């Protein structure tokens, strides 16, 4: 089974079409061993989990840690559907403007205090408070008010119909924290974890290692199977791969395409691949020169050979992008004509915008993941014949997050797939988006997305999302030339781990260690 990649069925069907039918299903696997209790999983990540507060997490290692330590009302299953977490069931009014969630009884936080509807209400009030600055504020749906009907019943009143609420409440930052902690001040969560998740925090050294242990009071008495998880930081991708091959680690959160072939050939290693809507985008500040002129953005988009970009940036483990954040993996994806390079048309657009002699720009890329720099370099070379003179500047990821992200005028972003079209638009591209990096602020786009969010009729929603994608395709608030397959790897004794197409969901409470796993302290 070495080198075989694992694909969940529904994701495979979407991804196989996206890859031109080039994927082949593996033979039916042998019956897996029943999950064993015990053992320590050592997992590697490529950057620090600097944010411990689950309402403020921003990158995959932080999402991983929040998922281990906290619970949400719902969680995503492998098909992007909402599954029970702290809420064991839910129902909605006929017009989809009110949702009622029934909580599990007897759940306690890691400090021993009970988790009730009061904690859920306080959490969502904190999320909806602009002062908290949680990305979840714009991504949990059109929530107007959250109230407690009793200790185990929570009611969400919405500003309009919204069929996706149970999925939206599984958002990475919508973790439930104690009302008492919120009252004291959320700063406490910067240094300690008080959740209801499957694991409890043991130690937190974000630049080196984070350790968690099984929560004996987790609501599911069968899970988690592992005693401990050690999350180890490996900034160098080659060293990270070498550690897995040598057996120093058991599981990689992700790997870069250039290392994937090496993992496929390694003895005792399973290379994992999952089609996804994960992408890098070239963000352009639409509120400042020169990118406030749509012709400049359109010109840049016409310099890119998207098929070549897939090969250069993803080593073939991806699909072409078309300047909207949706691909075939999304339910409401619209099949627009794929843009092709047209240097003559790009030159004319640039000249019409007042840059007949060319345009000098600095494109910034974080060094994590490495595909950002590769995309920046490819963009520089492809855009050069049209008159774009681009200087690529790479910087450490921590510096990028502090100085460039959401502030810069021209830089490379990197985003996981979201569970719905509304979620990705509300995260990045509406005027009130949590991470409105482009400052495109297009009223027509906002209206289309807003109406789609509150429309129950499937055909009408599809039409609205198609019009929204057409508008983005034309105006290019950011350039999205490529989507990535998710790539990772594990030792062959790791059981129950599956790459999730969302890219920010990990489900380590389902993971166990089989025969041959090393004994770790």
Average pLDDT over residues 136-159: 96
Specify whether 121 is located in the same domain as 149: yes
Residue 366 maps to which CATH number?
Answer: 3.10.105.10
- Please tell me whether residues 372 and 457 are part of one structural domain: yes
Q: No. of H helices and E strands in the chain? A: 15, 19
Question: Are residues 259 and 385 located together in one domain of the fold?
Answer: no
CA 51 – CA 374 distance, rounded (Å): 27
Judged against a pLDDT cut of 50, whether residue 149 lies above it is answered with yes
Whether residue 15 is predicted with pLDDT greater than 60 in this model: the reply is: no
| Shared-domain flag, residues 307 and 342 | yes
Task: Tell me which DSSP letter residue 114 carries.
Answer: B
Place of tokens 């998207």: 306
Last residue of a domain, one of 145, 161, 190: 190
Q: How many CB atoms lie within 10 A of CB 283?
A: 26
Q: Tell me the β-bridge partners of 40.
A: 228
**Residue (of 127, 123, 114) closest to 148 by Cα position:** 123
* Domain range enclosing 216: 9-50+194-275+485-513
Model confidence at 515: pLDDT above 80 = yes
Confidence of residue 418 (pLDDT cuts 50, 70, 90): very high
Does residue 334 sit in the same domain as residue 321? yes
Query: Band of the pLDDT at 4, cuts 50, 70, 90?
Result: very low
pLDDT in tens, 53-69: 999 999 999 999 999 99
Q: In 3-state terms, what secondary structure has residue 64?
A: helix
Q: How far apart are the C-alpha atoms of 264 and 315, rounded to whole Å? A: 14
Whether 4 is in a domain gets the answer no
Rounded to the nearest 5°, which phi and psi values hold at 291? -85, -5
The reply to whether 203 and 262 lie within a common domain is: yes
What value does the mean pLDDT take over residues 426-431?
95
81 assigned to some structural domain: yes
Confidence (pLDDT) at 32: 54
Is 14 part of any domain? Answer: yes
Q: Is the pLDDT of residue 29 over 80?
A: no
Tracing tokens 């995503």 back to the chain, one arrives at: 76
State how far the alpha carbon of 513 is from the alpha carbons of 1, 2, 35, 231, 408, in Å: 17, 17, 7, 16, 44
In a domain, 64, yes or no: no
Pick the last residue of a domain from 150, 168, 190: 190
In a domain, 501, yes or no: yes
Question: What's the CATH code of the domain at 81?
Answer: 3.90.76.10
- Residue 356 CB neighbour total at 10 angstroms: 12
Beta strands in 306-371 (DSSP E): 318-320, 359-366
pLDDT for residue 305: 98
Give the sheet arrangement for strand 143-150, strand by strand: 87-92, 98-103, 153-158, 143-150
Res 153: pLDDT:
98
pLDDT, residue 434, reads 87
Scan for tokens 């997992």, then name that residue.
43
At residue 210, what are phi and psi to the nearest 5 degrees?
Answer: -125, 135
Q: Are residues 378 and 330 in the same domain?
A: yes
Instruction: Tell whether 377 and 393 lie within a shared domain.
Output: yes
Q: 209: domain CATH number?
A: 3.40.190.10
For residue 13, tell me if it sits in a domain: yes
Tell me whether the omega of the peptide bond preceding residue 224 falls within 30 degrees of 0, making it cis.
Answer: yes
Same domain, 182 and 212: no
What are the CA-CA distances from residue 151 to residues 91, 182, 183, 220, 463 (Å)?
A: 17, 18, 19, 20, 41
C-alpha 295/C-alpha 353 separation (Å) is: 6
* Per-residue tokens: 488: 């990772």
Q: What's the rounded mean pLDDT across residues 287-307?
A: 98
Number of domains in the chain: 3
Whether residue 521 lies inside any domain: the answer is: no
Which of 190, 209, 224 is the last residue before a domain boundary? Answer: 190
Whether 349 contacts 298, CB under 8 Å: yes
Q: In degrees rounded to 5, what are phi and psi of residue 374?
A: -60, -40
- The pLDDT assigned to 456 comes to 83
Nearest to 75 by CA among 169, 197, 181, 155: 169
Q: Are 476 and 323 in contact (CB under 8 A)?
A: yes
% of the chain exceeding 90 in pLDDT: 89
On whether residue 338 sits in a domain, the answer given is: yes
Same domain assignment for residues 19 and 80: no
Among 1, 14, 8, 10, which residue's Cα sits nearest to residue 329?
A: 14
- Angle, helices 421-428/443-453, rounded to nearest 10 degrees: 140
What's the number of CA atoms in the CB half-sphere (13 Å) around residue 227?
Answer: 7
Give the pLDDT of residue 6. 30
221 and 254 fall within a common domain: yes
Q: Three-class SS of residue 307?
A: helix
Retrieve residue 509's tokens. Answer: 């409470």
Asked if residue 499 and residue 460 are part of one domain, the reply reads no
**Mean pLDDT calculated for residue range 506-513:** 98
Mean per-residue pLDDT, 38-48? 96
Say what the pTM is.
0.82
**What pLDDT, on a 0 to 100 scale, did the predictor assign at position 42?**
98
């Amino acid at each position: 089974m070495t080198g075989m990649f694992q694909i969940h069925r529904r994701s495979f069907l979407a991804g196989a079409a996206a890859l031109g039918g080039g994927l082949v299903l593996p033979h039916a696997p042998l019956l897996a061993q029943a999950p064993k209790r015990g053992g320590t999983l050592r997992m590697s990540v490529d950057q620090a989990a600097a944010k411990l507060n689950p309402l403020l997490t921003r990158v995959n290692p932080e999402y991983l840690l929040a998922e281990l330590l906290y619970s949400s009302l719902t969680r995503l299953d492998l098909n992007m559907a909402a599954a029970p977490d702290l809420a064991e069931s839910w129902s909605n009014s006929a017009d989809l403007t009110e949702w009622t969630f029934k909580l599990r009884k007897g759940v306690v936080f890691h400090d021993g205090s009970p988790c009730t509807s009061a904690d859920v209400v306080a959490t969502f009030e904190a999320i909806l408070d602009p002062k908290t600055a949680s990305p979840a504020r714009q991504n949990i749906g059109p929530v107007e008010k959250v109230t407690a009907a009793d200790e185990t019943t929570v009611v969400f009143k919405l500003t309009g119909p919204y069929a996706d609420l149970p999925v939206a409440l599984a958002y990475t930052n919508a973790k439930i924290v104690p009302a008492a902690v919120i009252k004291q001040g959320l700063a406490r969560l910067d240094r300690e974890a008080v959740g209801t998740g499957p694991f409890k925090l043991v130690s937190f050294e974000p630049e080196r290692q984070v350790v968690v242990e099984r929560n004996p009071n987790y609501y599911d008495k069968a899970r988690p199977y592992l005693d401990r998880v050690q999350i180890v930081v490996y900034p160098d991708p080659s060293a990270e791969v070498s550690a897995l091959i040598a057996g120093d680690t058991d599981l990689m959160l992700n790997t870069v395409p250039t290392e994937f072939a090496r993992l496929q050939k390694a003895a005792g290693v399973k290379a994992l691949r999952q089609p996804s809507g994960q992408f890098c985008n070239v963000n352009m500040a639409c509120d400042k020169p020169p990118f406030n002129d749509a012709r400049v953005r359109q010109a840049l988009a016409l310099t890119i050979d998207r098929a070549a970009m897939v090969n250069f940036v993803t080593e073939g483990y991806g699909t072409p992008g078309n300047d909207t954040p949706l691909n075939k993996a999304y339910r409401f994806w619209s099949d627009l004509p794929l843009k092709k390079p047209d240097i003559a048309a790009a030159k004319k657009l640039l000249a019409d915008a007042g840059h007949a002699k060319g345009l000098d720009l600095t494109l910034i890329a974080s060094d994590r993941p490495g595909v950002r720099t590769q995309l920046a370099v490819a963009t520089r070379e492809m855009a050069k014949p049209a008159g774009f003179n681009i200087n690529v500047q790479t910087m450490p990821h921590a510096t990028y997050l502090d100085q460039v992200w959401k502030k810069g005028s021209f830089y490379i972003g990197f985003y996981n797939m979201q569970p719905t079209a509304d979620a990705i638009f509300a995260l990045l591209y509406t005027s009130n988006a949590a991470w409105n990096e482009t400052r495109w602020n297009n009223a027509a786009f906002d209206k289309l997305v807003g109406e789609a969010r509150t429309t129950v009729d499937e055909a009408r929603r599809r039409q609205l999302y198609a019009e929204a994608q057409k508008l983005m395709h034309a105006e290019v608030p950011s350039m999205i030339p490529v989507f990535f397959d998710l790539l990772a790897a594990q030792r062959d004794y790791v059981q129950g781990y599956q790459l999730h197409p969302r890219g920010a969901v990990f489900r380590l409470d389902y993971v166990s260690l089989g025969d041959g796993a090393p004994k770790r302290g």
